[in-house]
Amino acid sequence: MIIAETKGVTKSYREGRETFRVLDGIDFSLQRGEIVALEGPSGSGKTTLLSILGCILSPTDGEIRIEGRTIGPRADLNAVRKQSIGFVFQQYNLFPALSARENVEFALNVKGMTGGPARREAERAMDLVGLTDRKEFLPRDLSGGQKQRVAIARALAGSPPILLADEPTANLDTQNGAQILGLFRDLVRRENRALLVVTHDPQVRSFADRVVRIRDGRLLPELDPAIGQ
């Protein structure tokens, strides 16, 4: 079942008199329960595509559908993000003053869940990412891999169906990276979510169901990750 989709999406930026077309007619879809890796050289438009799919940027042209609903130019993007999307960034962006659990709980507060339910959901997410015994640690007392787990717990909490991750392993060593990817795979399978991972990291391929490549704002024909490079 398709949960997020773009049709003929283009994105252009104006710089002085010139217009740069960063995305050029992207048709892409994400299914429930699958992990898709998005690969491409620097500047090819990966982050831009992720941002559009995550309703952070609006496309210059084309259509976006999230959970079956078309996101028009007047749509309340904040509301769509609150409801449907969890983000994981290369940088963890945790509030240094909040404990791991509080960082997750606060994100739920932002989404409108408060009090006991938010706290329990935050604890559940912490358990899911394997940080049961680090809940009350401040970010400065956590390793990079642990911080990224907190960020993942924050994205997972509230069970948004779509997870978008931009280079989640870029700041981690191979071993930690593999653990995070393994965690992602378990979570997506167990809770039937969808994950789009932007990456340069070759080991991501072995975790993905599909690999989508982008070059100069256009998608290339897909690779079967089983066949490999």
Partner 1 sequence: MVDLARKNLLHDKLRFTITVLGVAFAVTLVLFQVGLFLGLLDNASVIIEHVQADLWITPRNTANVDFSKTFPETRVHRVRSVPGVERADNLIVAYVDVSLPSGSQEGALCYAVENFKTWGLPWDWQGSDPDDLRRGPYVMIDAHSEQRFGPFEVGEYREFLDRRMKIIGKTNGANTFTTMPVTFMDLRTIQELIPDRYEGQSTYILVKLAPGANLEAVRAEIQSRLPYNDVYTRREWADQSRAYWIKSTGLGFTMGLTVFLGCLVGIVIVAQTLYTSTMEHLREFGTLKAIGGSNGFIYRILTRQALISGVVGFVLGAVPVYLLRPLIAQGGMKLIIPNDFGLFVMLGTLLMCVAASMVSFRKVASIDPALVFRG
Ligand X SMILES: Nc1ncnc2c1ncn2[C@@H]1O[C@H](COP(=O)(O)OP(=O)(O)OP(=O)(O)O)[C@@H](O)[C@H]1O
Residues of the shown chain interacting with Mg ion in the complex, contacts defined by CB under 5 A: 47
Using the minimum distance from each CB to partner 1, give the nearer residue, 54 or 225: 54
Using the minimum distance from each CB to partner 1, give the nearer residue, 111 or 149: 111
- Footprint (CB under 6 A) of ligand X, residues 36-65: 40, 42-48
Using the minimum distance from each CB to ligand X, give the nearer residue, 22 or 197: 22
Asked if 75 and 65 count as a contact pair (C-beta separation under 8 A), the reply is no
Helix (H, G, I), strand (E, B) or coil at 180: helix
Give which of ligand X, Mg ion, partner 1, none residue 90 binds (C-beta under 5 to 8 Å, depending on kind).
partner 1
* Residues 88-117, mask of contacts with partner 1 (x by CB under 8 A): -xxx-xxxxxx---x--xxx-xxx--xx--
Query: What's the distance, CA 212 to chain centroid?
Result: 15
Q: How far is the CB of 99 from ligand X (least distance, A)?
A: 30
| Residue 196 to residue 52: CA distance in whole angstroms | 12
* Residue, CB closest to ligand X: 47
Q: DSSP H helical segments within 157-219, as ranges? A: 174-191
* Residues 122-141, mask of contacts with partner 1 (x by CB under 8 A): --------------------
Asked if 202 and 188 count as a contact pair (C-beta separation under 8 A), the reply is no
Give which of Mg ion, partner 1, ligand X, none residue 94 binds (C-beta under 5 to 8 Å, depending on kind).
partner 1
Tally Cβ neighbours within 10 Å of residue 98: 16
Asked if 201 and 207 count as a contact pair (C-beta separation under 8 A), the reply is no
Give which of 41, 61, 77 is closest to 217, Cα–Cα.
Answer: 41
Query: Which chain residues interact with ligand X by CB under 6 A?
Result: 13, 22, 40, 42-48
